Each structure stands twice: as C-alpha cells, then as structure tokens.
C-alpha cells in the first residue's frame, strides 16, 4: 500500500468522521444566533415578530454558497466549506452529510487556504453549478456523474477564482471573478488576467462574455425579478458597496450605479458585502457588515439579521420562504414572509 493511498484513505476517513460529528451536533437541540434589527415598518411584511435565526450546524471552517436542490418535500440544501475543499448536504431528517470532496480543487499540490468551491447555483435543468477556486473554473455536475467545465478562461487566459453566480431565466449564467481564491490573491504569480470581472456564460453556444470590469472586488450577484437589473456586491473594505447594472435585451449590461454604500460600517461590525439573494418583490437580502442586510428595491435599508459573525451568503429554499444563511462556521436558517426568486 503506497504512502499516498494511505494518506488519502486517512483524509477521507477524517472528513467522514467530521461530517458525522456535525450531523449529531446539529440534531441535539435548537439554538439561535444573533438578533433581528428593524429599521423600517416594511420589514414586518418580510419577517414576523417572532422570527429567529436558527443554527442548523456549526464547527465548519468557512461556509458559503447555500443552494436548495429539488422540491420542498424531498429536496436538500448544498453548501460549501471552502477551506475543506468540500460541499456538504443538509436535510431536516438527516442533518449534515458529506456530499462532495474535493469540491473545487483537484490538483496534487498545496493550493492556499481557500481551494474549494464557493458559490453554488442550479442551471436551467436543475443541475449543480459550482464556482471553483482551486480549479479556477465554473463547472456543472452532470446527472450521470462527473463534472463538465463551463468556463475556465477568458480569451485564453485563466480565470482568477470564480466566486458567485446567478442563473438568468434563458439559461445564461452570470458570475464574478475576484482574486480571493488565488493563494496570494491579487499578487499571485499564477494570475493571468489584469482585471477582476463579471462574466456571462451563454446557454445558446457556451461562449464567455466579459460584461463589466467596473468593480475591483466583485462578489455576490443577483437579478431583479424582471431581470432588468443585475446587482453585484463589492467586498472591498475601502469601498464596501452594492452596485446595480441595467441589463440590455442582448444580456449585456450598461454602466453601473451605486445601490448602497456600507463603507462607513466596515470595522464596526464583522464582515463585508458578499453573497446576496433577491425575493419576488424585488427586496435584496445581502450579506454585509454584521449579517444579512435587507433592502427594498429602492435601496432603502429595512433591517438586518445581525448574526454577530462574518456572514458570507444566503439563499432561499424549501418552499421558497426559508432563508438559509452561511456565517463563518455556522449554517443557519430563518423563516420569512418572502419568496425567493426561482
């Protein structure tokens, strides 16, 4: 038996044991995290007076990318633990289970502290799409097993580290490509592109189009319900903002405008603008300093789910009204009165 084989067996055993301990821990008792901050009465139509952020499991390294797969009754949640290079699965019945390892890096050498998958989404056929740091690509998990690369380069130069993505109703996938997954980030010698961009993968022919380079640290991304506006978060402590871009009929975007600036709150509370989701009324549920910021479509801040933790992302699931939240080492959920855009 080779040393490499022994190490691989030991690694998968440890991952298996870790996932089992997370499962049993999640099922022991109901706990909550943080508090709800209400800044406007409109929030009452989105979160009930008794709404609480429930902890489903903890003990992870850095959680990200929650996506609900399947229907409300038989579906499940998938989410990333980026440093562990692992995608986990959660169901109310079975708790936490290992879903996929490796999730974002399949190389044989060390590749930094954040090699795994980041943002997760579904394609138009309901297949899992992963934004992969280490393999520097956007991939789709095929129904018969195995992955297919959707995009890994722009004009022959490798992508930086695809971070988060969103599906358009015509099947196109939009994603962000900051430097966070590169071992040395923007100063990494493996970096090939001069910009950090927002891209579109065409469902029609698979082509990759660069649609914006306005943001230096593009991160979370989402569409308005009518898909006429694209929202992109920027995780830059010096310019912690959300931008909105008008979407043209051909899928390209116009010049961005500032949606909301949270720079003044950086350092006062943990975290930066990161992943986001949009509900059917056009409200944004966006991770930022302190937790999940909730805006109406006119950029009015209605409230915040203050987790007290660095909060990475959120996504609607189950019947569409449960918001799953990834915050540092935690996986959480909260019942809302809203419905997520599907």
Core vs surface per residue 193-227: b (16+ CB within 10 A) or e: beebbbbbbebeeeebbebbebbebbbbbbbbeee
Local mean pLDDT, 10-residue blocks, the chain (342 residues): 38 46 54 98 98 98 98 96 98 97 97 98 98 98 94 98 98 98 97 98 98 98 98 98 98 98 98 98 98 98 98 98 98 98 86
Give the per-residue pLDDT at 219.
98
Give the per-residue pLDDT at 308.
97
Give the per-residue pLDDT at 209.
98
Give the chain's domains with CATH numbers: 3-335 (2.120.10.30)
Give the per-residue pLDDT at 318.
97
Give the per-residue pLDDT at 15.
47
Give the per-residue pLDDT at 310.
98
The reported pTM is 0.92
Q: Comparing C-alpha atoms, which of 204, 207, 126 is closest to residue 167?
A: 126
Phi-psi sector, 182: left (phi>0), alpha (psi -120 to 50), beta: beta
For the four alpha carbons of 47, 50, 56 and 61, in that order, the dihedral sign comes to positive
For 5-25, what is each residue's pLDDT tens digit? Answer: 333 333 444 444 444 445 434
Burial zone of 92 (CB within 10 Å; 0-12 exposed, 13-18 middle, 19+ buried)? exposed
- Helix (H) or strand (E) segment spanning residue 99: strand 95-100
Give the per-residue pLDDT at 342.
78
For the four alpha carbons of 211, 165, 337 and 57, in that order, the dihedral sign comes to negative
- Helix (H) or strand (E) segment spanning residue 332: strand 330-335
Give the per-residue pLDDT at 103.
98
Burial zone of 336 (CB within 10 Å; 0-12 exposed, 13-18 middle, 19+ buried)? buried
Partners of 324 in the beta sheet?
Answer: 315, 333
């Amino acid at each position: 038996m080779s040393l490499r084989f022994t190490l691989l067996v030991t690694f998968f055993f440890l991952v298996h044991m870790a996932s089992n301990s997370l499962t049993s821990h999640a099922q022991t008792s109901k706990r909550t995290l943080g508090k709800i901050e209400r800044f406007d009465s409109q929030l009452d139509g989105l979160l009930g007076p008794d709404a609480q952020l429930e902890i489903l499991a903890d003990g992870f390294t850095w959680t990200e990318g929650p996506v609900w797969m399947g229907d409300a009754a038989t579906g499940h949640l998938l989410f990333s633990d980026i440093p562990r290079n692992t995608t986990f699965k959660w169901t109310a019945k079975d708790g936490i289970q290992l879903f996929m390892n490796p999730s974002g890096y399949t190389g044989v050498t060390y590749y930094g502290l954040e090699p795994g998958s980041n943002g997760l989404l579904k394609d138009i056929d309901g297949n899992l799409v992963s934004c992969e740091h280490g393999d520097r690509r956007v991939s789709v998990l095929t129904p018969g097993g195995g992955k297919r690369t959707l995009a890994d380069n722009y004009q022959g130069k490798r992508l930086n580290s695809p971070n988060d993505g969103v599906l358009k109703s015509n099947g196109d996938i939009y994603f962000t490509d900051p430097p966070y997954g590169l071992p040395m980030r923007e100063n990494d010698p493996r970096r090939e592109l001069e910009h950090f961009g927002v891209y579109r993968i065409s469902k029609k022919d698979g082509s990759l189009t660069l649609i914006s380079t306005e943001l230096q640290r593009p991160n979370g991304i989402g569409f308005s319900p009518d898909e006429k506006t694209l929202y992109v978060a920027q995780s830059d402590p010096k310019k912690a903002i959300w931008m909105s871009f008008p979407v043209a009929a051909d899928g390209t975007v116009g010049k961005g405008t500032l949606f909301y600036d949270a720079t003044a709150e950086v350092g006062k509370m943990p975290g930066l603008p990161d992943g986001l989701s949009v509900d059917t009324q056009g409200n944004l549920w966006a991770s930022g300093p302190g937790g999940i910021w909730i805006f109406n479509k006119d950029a009015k801040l209605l409230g915040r789910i203050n987790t007290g933790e660095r909060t990475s992302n959120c996504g609607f699931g189950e019947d569409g009204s449960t918001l799953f939240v990834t915050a540092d080492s935690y996986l959480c959920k909260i019942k809302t009165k809203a419905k997520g855009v599907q």
